Amino acid sequence: MARVVLSQADMQRALTRIAHEILESNKGAADLVILGIPTRGVYLAQRIAAIIQRIEPEATATVPGSGSAMVGALDATMYRDDLSRGRTRTPSPTQIPSGGVDGKTVVLVDDVLYSGRTIRAALDALNDIGRPRVVRLAVLIDRGHRELPIRADFVGKNLPTSTDERINVRLAELDGVEEVSIENRAAEHPEADTARGPGTSTSAPSTSEATS
């Protein structure tokens, strides 16, 4: 049975805190670009951007086109290190705000930080799009088990896990409910897809955590 670790209210509070921390470290909303990593990172990025606009309306109002000028999506599928393994991955759209990323503070947003391989791929993808002044990383859940020297700057919740466990991030836009739960897939799904190693937690919705 999946155990709920973050409720809707907990998630909202975590995202609000992350938004405040981003503004604090960036000393305002100037030159801020928030890029979500598909699939769920994109929705989380949109929420963080909306909270930032609520906190600092005068700073963000100067940006033409309001919300869409600050937030976007960065797909890292084509930069993954496991493309020749497992099933074929379908890329998702990349959407960069019209101002570009050159000289900006880019905050990458993902739902779960696990091996760090997705973030490595995202950094490479970002490198081909432009040259940000700094790149930061915000994640809703940090579950440990890093395989690369990558660390999040803004964390919603640190959740120590075993590799047998699985983190399900459910968002209203995709899944109808809003919660983060943890389940032991070794106990419940002995036949579970073994190809799903670390770093695959942001795959396409068709194979998302929510379908299990």
Instruction: Name the residues that contact another protein, by CB under 8 A.
Output: 75, 78-79, 83-94, 124, 127-130
Minimum distance, C-beta of residue 125 to another protein, in the bound complex (Å): 9
- Residue 190 near residue 9 (C-beta atoms within 8 A): no
Q: Give kind and range of the element (H or E) at residue 42.
A: helix 40-55
Minimum distance, C-beta of residue 79 to another protein, in the bound complex (Å): 6
115 alpha-carbon distance from chain centroid: 13
Minimum distance, C-beta of residue 85 to another protein, in the bound complex (Å): 6
88 vs 211 by CB, closer to another protein: 88
27 vs 87 by CB, closer to another protein: 87
Beta bridge partner(s), residue 181? 4, 168
- Indicate the residue type of 50: A
Give the DSSP letter of residue 150.
Answer: -
Give CA–CA dist 125/40, Å, rounded.
18
Give CA–CA dist 185/193, Å, rounded.
10
77 vs 208 by CB, closer to another protein: 77
Q: Give kind and range of the element (H or E) at residue 181.
A: strand 179-184
130 vs 144 by CB, closer to another protein: 130
50 vs 123 by CB, closer to another protein: 123
Minimum distance, C-beta of residue 86 to another protein, in the bound complex (Å): 6
Report CA torsion sign: 58, 111, 118, 96: negative
24 vs 191 by CB, closer to another protein: 191
Minimum distance, C-beta of residue 87 to another protein, in the bound complex (Å): 5
Give the DSSP letter of residue 203.
Answer: -
Q: Which of 202, 210, 211 is nearest to 91 (CA)?
A: 202
Minimum distance, C-beta of residue 89 to another protein, in the bound complex (Å): 7
